[in-house]
Structure 1
């Protein structure tokens, strides 16, 4: 049991987010602000080297929550369901793809709006860090594919509680809120694809 937990990437990710809570609380405000600025996946940081540091920002931002730091280790428990469904390697690849892909999509929207004058140039430097995109995708999977029905209901409730914050500003075209919708859609796509692949052998056999 313990051996399986240690080998599970979900355990390491939840632990990393749990460690981030006291670290962010203990850091002096100026150092925390510098960390958030450096790890933010905004246009300035995603610019290619040497002006930016896109790889470093994308990696570190997944481990540095910006708001409600304490809630993310709890919500990240949903990654266990993804691992049980897809396996460790595919889970890491999938959630990394969601994190990078949704970030790229939302920041492209920011760039487009700045370029066309609907957002100020200063929005290229907005704080945008945290694990929310990949965690929302994992929660969507857990809500549909957790082994016990009551666990699925728990994830449904948690997602419902978190939804107002995650979707804040969506009616005004907030890019982060749109990103959360994209991440949720990605999670549902994984569920649908997995069901289709499981159904295909049955159809062939029949």
Structure 2
């Protein structure tokens, strides 16, 4: 996709701007409210009581530190803008929703299995687990794989490289957060790779068509010449 021809509405899309505004309002108002964070936590206890509300609300709580929140929200908004430019509003929302949902279900499901097997403390069912990291990681992975412009892809890849120690910390012990991060990362990559492969096939077929057109024209011309 040529960025110079990207419609202005893609940069002004409601997805990144709406997410950023809601996240800023939610985090600055309730980021330090323990009761709200406990209700929004995507832990096993809440997944059995109000899963949809927790999954949605958790993604908009960036923490109690205002400046750290605003920095993270700015990054999230930029990456979501890149995602919308490449995939459009609906597919972008579907992709980050899949990252949030699958990241949570896989990580919490694994924890539930470990608790049932006696390999994890049952108290972990109520662990505080809020934040948009699964959304951001899935979006970064998708842009890194299939961003509309090279600098979009490199920006996302650099952000992933910087966040890699945080994303994978505790993975060897099957911690909830790192398992969720890796799941969200894989989800973003897989959902972005399919459309990219399809686009590559279309471009390849288009090039073949362009190359074949002069030959077909020449054959028709030669055929008419021979018939006369």
TM-score grouping bracket, smaller chain normalisation = 0.7 to 0.9
Name the SS of the counterpart of 1:118 in structure 2. coil
TM-score by length of 1: 0.84
Name the SS of the counterpart of 2:69 in structure 1. coil
- 1:46-83 CA distance string (max 9 Å, x none): 11xxxx11111111111112475344313312111211
Cα distance change, pair 3–188 in 1 and its aligned pair in 2 (3 A): closer
Q: CA deviation at 1:5?
A: 4.8
Correspondence 1:112-123 to 2 at 5 A: 112-123=113-124
Correspondence 1:85-100 to 2 at 5 A: 85-100=86-101
Contact residue 83 and residue 91 of structure 1 kept, 8 A: yes
1:144 corresponds in structure 2 to 145
Contact residue 13 and residue 81 of structure 2 kept, 8 A: no
Tell me which stretches of 4 or more aligned residues in structure 1 moved more than 6 Å. Answer: none
Name the SS of the counterpart of 2:130 in structure 1. coil
Contact residue 81 and residue 141 of structure 1 kept, 8 A: no
Distance 1:151 1:86 in 2: 13
Corresponding position: 1:58 with 2:55: yes
Bigger radius of gyration among the two: 2
Match of 2:22 among 8, 13, 16: 16
Contact residue 42 and residue 126 of structure 1 kept, 8 A: yes
Cα distance change, pair 204–161 in 1 and its aligned pair in 2 (3 A): closer
1:82 corresponds in structure 2 to 83
TM-score by length of 2: 0.77
Correspondence 1:182-201 to 2 at 5 A: 182-201=183-202
* Gaps in structure 1 of 5+ consecutive residues: none
Provide the alpha-carbon RMSD of the alignment: 2.3
Name the SS of the counterpart of 1:129 in structure 2. coil
Distance 2:13 2:79 in 1: 16
Q: CA deviation at 1:3?
A: 5.9
Q: CA deviation at 1:190?
A: 2.6
Contact residue 137 and residue 183 of structure 1 kept, 8 A: yes
Cα distance change, pair 66–109 in 1 and its aligned pair in 2 (3 A): farther
1:72 corresponds in structure 2 to 72
Cα distance change, pair 45–87 in 1 and its aligned pair in 2 (3 A): same
Q: CA deviation at 1:8?
A: 2.8
